[in-house]
Structure 1
Amino acid sequence: MAITDTSSISGANAASAAASTASVSNSDSEQRFLKLLVTQLNNQDPLNPMENAELTSQLAQMSTVSGIEKLNSTLSGLVSQTGSNQVLQAASLIGYNVLSPGNTLATKAAEEGKDPAVQAFAVQLPGTAADVEIKIVDASGKTVRTIEAGGMTEGVNAVTWDGKDDAGNVVPAGSYKFTVAASNGGTAVEATALTFAQVAAVKQGATGVTLELASGQSIALSDVRMFL
């Protein structure tokens, strides 16, 4: 009587069979693997039996697949826990002013006989810039103030505006924006505008933790450069 040769079922095929059942539980995967292995042993060619090394290899591959599934489960738990910790850490920023990417400045009417509040913002540079020019424009796009900041170093550089135009007059209360032009020896240096805004709320989204600012803007926790 002819005996069917199933010794061609390799360890890779057994591992593939176990991997294809990723949607079922780890226990089910192990049971299927063991049934496949027993069937393979029962139907092997007695003139060409399975080598011990081959059997050991298949068992090792099953152990590896099982270990990876458990590792993935553990990592998922750690990621979930990390997300919860980030929310708690971010919640401590509520009420604080954070420095993050943005170029909007809001001025308020000054009290009679007093100068307007100084506006603080910043410029972030990837490298040194010998010349930095900052222009503050109103809602219509008109430049009301040009600040020649001179040289700036790599990193975050603080800048202030006294709320006055180039003629020294106090600008009307409202929303303004600023642009930054930085260069070094005639070569443009990419600059990032940064502004302060108060954190009003924190939420956990699909992309991670986000901060809801009083200005209406939403930023990622990783966007925060500084808080006061």
Structure 2
Amino acid sequence: MMVPRTTINSTTDYSAINKKVDSKASAADQQQDRFLKLLVKQLQSQDPMNPMDNAATTSQMAQISSVTGIEKLNATMQSMMASFASAQSFQAAALIGKEVLTQGNQMKFDGTKPIDARVDLPAGVSNIKVTITDKNGAVVDKLTLPQQSGGAAGVVWDGKLEGDRLAAAGDYFISATGLKDGKEIALNTLTWQTASSVELAKTGVNIMLGSQKTVAFSDVKQIR
């Protein structure tokens, strides 16, 4: 039995996780230092008969403190985001070799076991029709789902053709339609695919499926 090969491609910069603290003062720290020096100079040079307004001085000090706090908060958030991305990548790597349920239309039939999928149903949809086609686009089966409220409707295809013959093993495709407000609309379908590798992209963690389709880690609805 062949063991699935784990593949992780990374384009994400995780240097922020172990980055050394820069001892050089930040722009906000330098600005605060200049402000305090000017404030002390003003206090030393003020007219005793016409002193500086306490409220104005307090307001200026509060503003400069806010700027410093925001800069430090941004640095902390960047470090936390890098740590989160690293943890998420390890979670995604555990999916390699497993089946994940994501939006798609491709299904793999082994020639014996029934295969299942899902259909996303908006509220108010009726007359739900499901069509199964082969890789050449030929229709091999049609199903009608019972009326139900919005949500994910389960679909099971046993692979049987006319005369109780089983379809050949291979890739098949599912599509679905329904009636809403008297008009026929296409419905989104979800199918099971094997996760073959993980990609650490700048936009987040992606999963490469056996069908060569790439989906975001956050788009995985179920794992088995």
Range into which the TM-score falls when normalised by the shorter chain = 0.7 to 0.9
The answer on whether the counterparts of 1:101 and 1:192 sit within 8 Å (CA) in structure 2 is yes
Q: Which runs of 5+ in 1 are unaligned?
A: 1-22, 111-115
Between 45-54 and 128-137, report the one with greater CA deviation: 45-54
What TM-score, normalized by structure 1, do the two folds share? Answer: 0.74
Q: Which gives a bigger RCO, structure 1 or 2 (Cα 8 Å, sep 6+)?
A: 2
Offset of 1:223 from its aligned partner? Answer: 0.8
CA distance, structure 2, for counterparts of residue 123 and residue 37 of structure 1: 67
* Map of 2:78 onto structure 1: 76
1:51-80 deviation line (CA, Å, top 9, x unaligned): 111111111100111111111111112212
Query: CA–CA distance in 1 between the matches of 2:130 and 2:162?
Result: 12
- The residue number in structure 1 matching 2:104 is 102
Q: Secondary structure at the match of 1:106?
A: strand
More displaced 10-residue stretch of structure 1: 152-161 or 36-45: 36-45
Q: Of the candidates 171, 181, 187, which is equivalent to residue 177 of structure 2? A: 181
**Residues 146-174 of structure 1: CA deviation (Å, up to 9, x unaligned):** 11112233322221112233564433443
Question: What corresponds to 1:19 in structure 2?
Answer: none
- In structure 1, what residue type is equivalent to 2:128? V
Does the 8 Å contact 1:133/1:150 carry over to 2? no
Q: Cα offset for 1:31?
A: 2.4
Match of 2:118 among 117, 122, 125: 122
In the TM superposition, what is the alpha-carbon distance from 1:226 to its structure 2 partner?
0.9
What pairs up with 1:43-54 in 2 under 5 angstroms? 49-54=51-56
Normalised to the residue count of structure 2, the TM-score between the two structures is 0.75
Pick from 156, 159, 173: which aligns with 2:155? 159
Shift of residue 101 of structure 1? 0.3
Question: Which has the higher mean CA deviation after the structures are superposed, 184-193 or 133-142?
Answer: 184-193
CA RMSD for the aligned pairs? 2.8
1:208 aligns with 2:210: no
SS in 2 for 1:141: coil
Change (3 A) 1:213 1:140: closer
- Corresponding residue for residue 18 of structure 1: none
Instruction: Report Cα offsets for 1:93-124 as digits up to 9, x if no partner.
Output: 2222111000012334x4xxxxx321211112
Q: Alpha-carbon deviation of 1:189?
A: 6.3
1-side partners of 2:190 and 2:91: how far apart?
22
Q: Look up the match of 1:193.
A: 189
Structure 1 position 197, deviation (Å): 0.9
The residue type paired with residue 161 of structure 2 is D
Distance change (3 Å), C-alpha of 1:96 and 1:128: farther
The answer to whether the 8 A contact 1:136-1:146 is kept is yes
Contact 1:100 1:196 (C-alpha < 8 Å) held by counterparts: yes
CA contact (8 A) 1:101 1:194 kept: yes
Match of 2:5 in 1: none
Contact 2:105 2:191 in 1 (8 A): yes
The answer to whether structure 1 residue 60 and structure 2 residue 62 are counterparts is yes
Code of the residue aligned with 1:53 in structure 2: it is A
